[in-house]
Amino acid sequence: DTGVSQDPRHKITKRGQNVTFRCDPISEHNRLYWYRQTLGQGPEFLTYFQNEAQLEKSRLLSDRFSAERPKGSFSTLEIQRTEQGDSAMYLCASSLGEGNTIYFGEGSWLTVV
């Protein structure tokens, strides 16, 4: 499968714990995006990378959230001290530069109990 890959697909964690999600974009895609989607809502932009540089962060991305793309390939999204409000699906997407189609992964579901 050469699509966008996300891991884990599902994560249940206790409030206050840290969680990390990984995204492997389509090979050679230089842009990588993170979105969050809650039930009944459309995806909301969190942040995006061009190669290893994080070029934009939404105000939705609080200090507890950090995203990295150290070598311009895979990316991680870490949530520290999780809260129940963090329960959502976290979607990763990638594209080959500006103006090209953005392809989404199947998402990582987070449930904070």
Partner 1 sequence: AQSVTQLGSHVSVSEGALVLLRCNYSSSVPPYLFWYVQYPNQGLQLLLKYTSAATLVKGINGFEAEFKKSETSFHLTKPSAHMSDAAEYFCAVSASYGGATNKLIFGTGTLLAVQP
Residues in contact with partner 1 by the rule CB under 8 A: 4, 31, 33, 40-45, 48, 55-56, 91, 93, 95, 98-99, 101-107, 109
Measure Cα distances from 58 to 26, 55, 61, 69 in Å: 23, 10, 6, 17
Q: Measured from the CB atom, is 45 or 74 closer to partner 1?
A: 45
With 0-12 CB in 10 A as exposed, 13-18 as middle and 19+ as buried, what is 95? buried
Residue 48 CB, nearest approach to partner 1 (Å)? 6
Q: Measured from the CB atom, is 56 or 78 closer to partner 1?
A: 56
Q: Measured from the CB atom, is 18 or 100 closer to partner 1?
A: 100
Q: Beta-carbon neighbour count of residue 41 at 10 Å?
A: 9
